[in-house]
Amino acid sequence: MTARGADETRWLSQEEREAWLAVVALMIKLPPALDSQLRTDAGLSFFEYMVLAMVSEQPDRSLQMSDIADLASASLSRLSHTVTRLEKQGLLVRHRVPGHGRRFRAVLTDAGLEKVAAAAPPHVMEVRRLLIDDLTDHELTVLTTVGRRVLGRLAPDCPA
Amino acid sequence: MTARGADETRWLSQEEREAWLAVVALMIKLPPALDSQLRTDAGLSFFEYMVLAMVSEQPDRSLQMSDIADLASASLSRLSHTVTRLEKQGLLVRHRVPGHGRRFRAVLTDAGLEKVAAAAPPHVMEVRRLLIDDLTDHELTVLTTVGRRVLGRLAPDCPA
DNA sequence: CAAGATTGACACATCAATCTTC
DNA sequence: GAAGATTGATGTGTCAATCTTG
């Protein structure tokens, strides 16, 4: 970010730099804030919550590993480690899909369902407090469209 | 996020949920994307780059630990570990501030300065490609103001 | 051999405890 | 005792290698 001699780098303008630093700061600080709230109120990390929440939203309380990874924006490897931990806590069980031997589904246990159900209300409240509630409709739209545009540019296969 | 019985939780609307998921996906995927580019082109993590860049922008190539932590949105602990690694690589040295015994400054070495200077151009290019270049002026403004508003709500002392 | 998923080794962040200087 | 910073133990993510099924 430091200006050098006569190269062709298009350095960021003052406004661009400020926008970028704001995005970076958010990127760094938001996850720990969410982790902290969920850890305190429900004993879950944000990522663990996301996994449980995505599965809990399915009609049969179950979801294929690779689909969870997509929905939670995570690598299959990260997901696998996390599901192993959740399984040890009895919140989830892994199940081979009959007829599709390579595929595994994670199925929420009753304990898992109770856990998400208890975690969700305070979490949603925090998400509202931190971000959603102070957004105008227009800001909400901008956030959605900009977010999706960037995601689309992020290497289709870059899961991590 | 799953609807329960008759509680008072204000669940997210469809639009709110989409905006939130877009933000979350960005939060999760952008850092690895930046890490990957910097690791390939310069052998640095994004956080290491941020530290070196912040220091390199000072007139005397040096900056107090706690100020680096603020600028890079990191905890002092994380910074300390990282500076230890950078110091081992000869990119930085730690220095006690004369007259203020408790304070330490990190000073960029010549090697460190060369390292950032080499890393910056491809990094800025990537930042432009992923986010900045496709933003309208208006979107840039919205991002900055929304970002700062959220940061302001993030517990003044929540550094991590 | 490709797709779906797991594993282990390693790197890094976090948390609580500690140290030093004021 | 508080501010500035460091340290060590622990937890979790990443990467490359592996395993299994189609």
* Contact B6/A at CB under 8 A: no
Structure tokens at B12: 């997210």
**pLDDT for B16 beyond 80:** yes
Contacts of A36 in chain B (CB under 8 A): 158
Residue A19: the pLDDT is: 97
Could you give the CA distance from residue B72 to residue B95 in angstroms, rounded to a whole number?
20
User: What pLDDT is recorded for position A101?
Assistant: 85
pLDDT score of B159: 53
Q: Which residues of B touch A117 (CB under 8 A)?
A: 2, 4
Q: Are B117 and A4 in contact (CB under 8 A)?
A: yes
Q: What is the DSSP letter of A134?
A: G
Is the CB of B138 less than 7 A from some atom of nucleic acid strand C?
A: no
The predicted structure's pLDDT at residue A148: 95
Q: What is the mean pLDDT of chain B?
A: 93
Quickly state the pLDDT bin for A158 (edges 50, 70, 90). Answer: low
Cβ atoms of B104 and B52 closer than 8 Å: no
Task: Count contacts between A and B (CB, < 8 Å).
Answer: 193
Dihedral class, residue A9 (left if φ above 0, else alpha if ψ from -120 to 50, else beta): beta
Contacts of B138 (CB under 8 A, 6+ apart): A142
Q: Comparing A132 with A100, which gets the higher pLDDT? A: A132
Tokens of A29: 């600080």
The per-residue pLDDT for B1 is: 54
pLDDT in tens, B65-119: 999 999 999 999 999 999 999 999 999 999 999 999 899 999 999 999 999 999 9
Predicted TM-score (pTM) of this structure: 0.92
Mean pLDDT of A3-7: 59
pLDDT band at A5 (very low <50, low <70, confident <90, very high): low
For the cut 60, the answer to whether the pLDDT of residue B5 exceeds it is no
Q: Is B74 on the interface with A (CB under 8 A)?
A: yes
Q: What is the pLDDT of residue A8?
A: 86
Measured between beta carbons, which residues in chain A are less than 8 angstroms from residue B41?
none
The stretch A151-158 carries a mean pLDDT of: 77
Residue A123 has pLDDT above 90, yes or no: yes
| Nearest CA-CA partner of A136 in B21, B146, B154, B13 | B146
The two tokens of residue A101 are 């031997």
Residue type for position A95: H
Mean pLDDT, all residues of chain A: 93
User: pLDDT (tens digit, 9 = 90+) per residue, A73-87?
Assistant: 999 999 999 999 999
A149 touches strand D (CB under 7 A): no
Q: Is the pLDDT of residue A2 over 80?
A: no
**What is the pLDDT at residue B80?**
98
**pLDDT value of position A154:** 87
Which nt is closest to the CA of B64, judged by C1'? D4
DSSP states of chain B: ----SS----PPPHHHHHHHHHHHHHHHHHHHHHHHHHHHHHS--HHHHHHHHHHHTSTTSEEEHHHHHHHTT--HHHHHHHHHHHHHTTSEEEEEPTT-TT-EEEEE-HHHHHHHHHHHHHHHHHHHHHTGGG--HHHHHHHHHHHHHHHHHS-TT---
Confidence band (pLDDT; 50, 70, 90) for B154? confident
Cα A83–Cα A84–Cα A89 angle in degrees, nearest 5: 90
| Closest protein CA to C1' of nucleotide C3, residue | A102
d(CA A86, CA B105): 43
Closest by Cα among B150, B72, B93, B159 to A1: B72
Region of poorest pLDDT, from A39-48, A151-160, B127-136: A151-160
